[in-house]
Amino acid sequence: MSDRATGLPPSRVTAVLGPTNTGKTHLAVERMLGHASGMIGLPLRLLAREIYERIVKQRGAAAVALVTGEEKIIPPRPHYWVCTVEAMPLEREVEFLAIDEIQLAADPERGHVFTSRLLHARGRFETMFLGAATLAPLIRRLIPDVEIVTRDRLSTLSYAGSKKLTRLPRRSAIVAFSTDQVYAIAELIRRQRGGAAVVMGSLSPRTRNAQVALFQSGEVDFLVATDAIGMGLNMDVDHVAFAGMRKFDGRRTRWLHAHEIAQIAGRAGRHVRDGTFGVTGEAEELDEDLVQQVVEHRFDPIQAIEWRNARLDFDTLPDLLRSLVQVPDVPGLRLTGQALDETLLRRAMQDDEIKRIGRSRGTIMRLWEACQLPDFQKTTLEEHVRLSRDVFHALTGKRGRLTEDWFAPRFAEVDRDDGQIDQLSARLSGVRTLSYIANRPDWLEGAKAWRERARALEDRLSDVLHERLTARFVDRKTTALMRSLQDRKATMAEVAANGVVTVDGESVGHLAGVRFAPDVGGSALADRTLKAAALRAVTPEIARRLGRLAGDGDEAFSLTPEGDVLWSGALAAKVVNTDPFSPRVRLIGDLGPPPARDRAQRRIEAWLASEAGRALRDLRRLKSAVESGALKGLPRGIAFRLLEAGGVIDRRDVERDLAALSQVERRTIKAFAIRVGAHSVWLPGALKPRGRVLSQAFTAAEPFRAKPQGLSLLPIPAPSPRALSAFGARAAGRWAVPVEDLERAADLRRENNGNLSEEALASLGWTAGDARAIWAALKTVRAQMPDREGRPVAIRPDSPFAKLAELTARPEPARRRRPRRAKVKVT
């Protein structure tokens, strides 16, 4: 809506004012391209680069020039000039001229430059100022013939209150006001939400564009930025969250003004899509009145803007300083505070050598140029004073320029792409300073070559910085999987021949048999995402594999001593009980349909039962005879003990039963392949390699594992007899001794009159001390006949019943002694 009365001729100066997302910048670009020539001044180098690239796509690189403090791309005959406000070449006449974000004329640091453009910069046919409506009354006062056009926001902006960082909606921008805070928030979002792009005003355009591309492409759903996003950087942001409400404005830390909040919050919503804003982190809830101001775009008008005399007097240094501090005589203009260039000038005027040199108008102009060197590196004042002084001395020296000997070592200092984010950012700031110098042909020898090298270095460092930012703040694997999970139709899940499982090209784990091992993420979010993606990828494949497992033959299965059941060489199940003839297993993993898992489990248990029947045939036959009652009497008792112990028992435990066996019972024992040795009774068939593997699998829950050969030291507490039998061993003192070695030792000892020769010990792998300890533990006893009726039971002295017998024994009656007869002496 225009405020110009109907019937009046159109004004050559137009102010297009309104809140964010009203299309003001787009309008200015379209108007400029409607003229034969034009120039637009923008508040940020980042925004200038964005507009430059947009116009290049429409009109070609030969028609457009880009001019900023650090970068100049000027074709031979450009029609359009895209510039930062400070770098606008106003000496060039163009048909159309526009200044964006004109409300920055009230900014304490840069405001005087915008004010100068407002008062003096004009296009031949059309001039356009773009900005906030708060400046409308002052523009009307300063430019009476201006036509003010107000534009309404294309979408609605509403307040969403406070939300935790981890609860922010997708497509959110989180705004912080320090580099450290930006990095901390981005790190948190990486851990909790997959990652975030980072945008700061100090980033180079190349790095900034690459980071924005991450967000715009949907690779990340969050953007962490400084208030730089409030200056016309249009992105697909649905929600803006303030992580703080105080900022350092170059002079002091202060609360944000309402119009600044609106400028930043207005980035939410694009074109006709509505947006929201709120607070997060430690930021307090916004006051209701403040919220209403932002939502309704009602702000107090700007009463005055910054001004500094643009017509400087270079006759003498004092004259220059007086012209800088001249007070404006126009209402609505106020003298700006002391800027950096003025501070540098005052410091230079204290230098006697500079005062001696700066006596002519030309040298004073050179000094002022040197003082206007920006402090991109944010160094100390003393360091920047030295740099500007070096530039001035070079410009007023014999050669009139900075030499390559001065420039080259400074370039070499930043010509490195190693280091972390802070180091790369510092080098990029240094490159910006060198680029500013190299873009002044009247300042530097060989400026064109150095300008090209500086641009190439900035591009290289920008790419490396983008990689470092992405590596630190974006979990690309997790974010890719999250996108895939959100769009089921687009997901491509594959299981390679080597078992690697991928989702949309990202590895999520490895599938071996029916066992899926997910990749480990770097955070809880990554783990959850990997698991969700894995479920989608492998569940159908595992269902198919479970079906094949249930139908495979016995040759597809194998068993390890650790109780692992392998299917086609891959782990499929674990043994969970101790009875090999009634096996129970736990299928690996929890994926797959329950019916398919049940069938697979039953198939494995059936194979184990049949394998036990083959590998432990003698033990199985003995078990059947005991359970059916085929074995009776003393042989049944011996068999029961063997079954309980897994096939090996100490002979002493059944010594009395063995001594009482009849000839028929002895033949029965022999028929069941039970061997009776000097010290042990065992089933040799159960100790064969195949049988041992199976027995060990069903005792794998016990930690004991005997050596393959020779003696093994018994742990405390001692393992069960079944665990020892699984290794073909039995206990003898502190040793687990292989049964066959023990019986062979008994034979060798018997042949050598109760001793073991050195050769015998060597063949057994024993030492003499080991042998003594083993024999002492065994204490071989003579076989006893069964008790006869009325005959006292013989009790071994080392038995616990020996003490009981002593306590309960009846005392023998005392013998009556006959009195001695006196001997009669015969005389």
CA–CA gap between residue 241 and residue 256 (Å, rounded): 14
Sheet with 13-17, strands from edge to edge, namely 72-73, 64-67, 80-84, 38-42, 96-99, 126-131, 13-17, 147-150
What are the residues whose beta carbons fall under 8 Å from the beta carbon of 559, sequence distance 6 or more?
565, 566, 575, 608, 611, 693, 694, 697
Tokens found for residue 601: 């489990």
CA–CA gap between residue 421 and residue 183 (Å, rounded): 10
Between the CA of residue 523 and those of 170, 173, 287, 587, 706, what are the distances in Å? 19, 22, 36, 28, 41
Ranges assigned E (strand) in 403-499: 493-495
CA–CA gap between residue 178 and residue 187 (Å, rounded): 14
CA–CA gap between residue 162 and residue 287 (Å, rounded): 12
What pLDDT was estimated at residue 795?
60
Say if residues 179 and 227 touch (Cβ distance below 8 Å).
Answer: no
Using alpha carbons, select from 250, 229, 248 the residue that is nearest to residue 177: 248
Tokens found for residue 786: 């069964």
CA–CA gap between residue 796 and residue 80 (Å, rounded): 116
Residue 272 DSSP one-character state: T
3 state DSSP class of 26: helix
Say if residues 215 and 172 touch (Cβ distance below 8 Å).
Answer: no
Tokens found for residue 1: 């809506």
CA–CA gap between residue 237 and residue 269 (Å, rounded): 6
CA–CA gap between residue 215 and residue 208 (Å, rounded): 11
Residue 564 DSSP one-character state: E
Name the region of 319 (left: φ>0; alpha: ψ -120 to 50; beta: rest): alpha
What are the residues whose beta carbons fall under 8 Å from the beta carbon of 562, sequence distance 6 or more?
696, 697, 700
3 state DSSP class of 312: coil
Note the helical H segments in 108-195: 111-120, 136-142, 179-193
CATH of region 13-150, choose from 3.40.470.10, 3.60.15.10, 3.50.50.60, 3.40.50.300: 3.40.50.300
CA–CA gap between residue 417 and residue 471 (Å, rounded): 15
Q: How many CB atoms lie within 10 A of CB 142?
A: 18
User: Which string of b and e fits 379-412 if b means at least 16 CB within 10 Å?
Assistant: eeeeebbebbbebbebbbeeeebbeeeebeeebe
Between the CA of residue 707 and those of 564, 660, 712, what are the distances in Å? 20, 36, 6
824: amino acid identity, one letter: V
Tokens found for residue 28: 């200015």
CA–CA gap between residue 169 and residue 710 (Å, rounded): 67
3 state DSSP class of 615: helix
Q: How many CB atoms lie within 10 A of CB 197?
A: 29
94: amino acid identity, one letter: V
Between the CA of residue 262 and those of 19, 265, 299, what are the distances in Å? 8, 5, 10
Q: Give the residues across from 510 on adjacent strands.
A: 500, 517
Q: HSE (CB half, 13 Å, CA atoms) of 289? A: 2
Task: Report the sign of the C-alpha dihedral through residues 552, 553, 558, 559, in that order.
Answer: positive
What pLDDT was estimated at residue 149?
94
Using alpha carbons, select from 428, 491, 430 the residue that is nearest to residue 460: 428
Where along the chain do the CATH 3.40.50.300 domains lie?
A: 13-150, 157-296
Q: Give the residues across from 31 on adjacent strands.
A: none
What pLDDT was estimated at residue 504?
63
What pLDDT was estimated at residue 498?
80
What is the dotted CATH code of the domain comprising 157-296?
3.40.50.300
What pLDDT was estimated at residue 478?
67
Tokens found for residue 755: 């001793």
Say if residues 647 and 725 touch (Cβ distance below 8 Å).
Answer: yes
CA–CA gap between residue 105 and residue 118 (Å, rounded): 8
Task: Report the sign of the C-alpha dihedral through residues 153, 158, 162, 164, in that order.
Answer: negative
Ranges assigned E (strand) in 314-383: 333-335
What pLDDT was estimated at residue 516?
81
3 state DSSP class of 157: strand
Give CA angle at 130 (127, 135), nearest 5°. Answer: 110
CA–CA gap between residue 724 and residue 738 (Å, rounded): 9
Count of H-run helices and E-run strands, the chain = 29, 32
Residue 717 DSSP one-character state: S
Q: Give the residues across from 65 on adjacent strands.
A: 81
pLDDT < 50 positions in the chain: 489-490, 781-791, 826-827
CA–CA gap between residue 425 and residue 428 (Å, rounded): 5
CA–CA gap between residue 19 and residue 132 (Å, rounded): 6
Classify residue 812 by burial, with Cβ atoms within 10 Å: 0-12, 13-18, 19+.
exposed
Which uninterrupted H or E stretch holds 33?
helix 24-33
What pLDDT was estimated at residue 823?
54
Tokens found for residue 35: 């003229």
3 state DSSP class of 195: strand
Tokens found for residue 222: 């969050």
Between the CA of residue 56 and those of 201, 463, 561, 727, 768, what are the distances in Å? 23, 22, 72, 82, 95
Q: Indicate the pairing of strand 38-42 with strand 80-84.
A: parallel
Tokens found for residue 360: 């002519």
3 state DSSP class of 221: coil
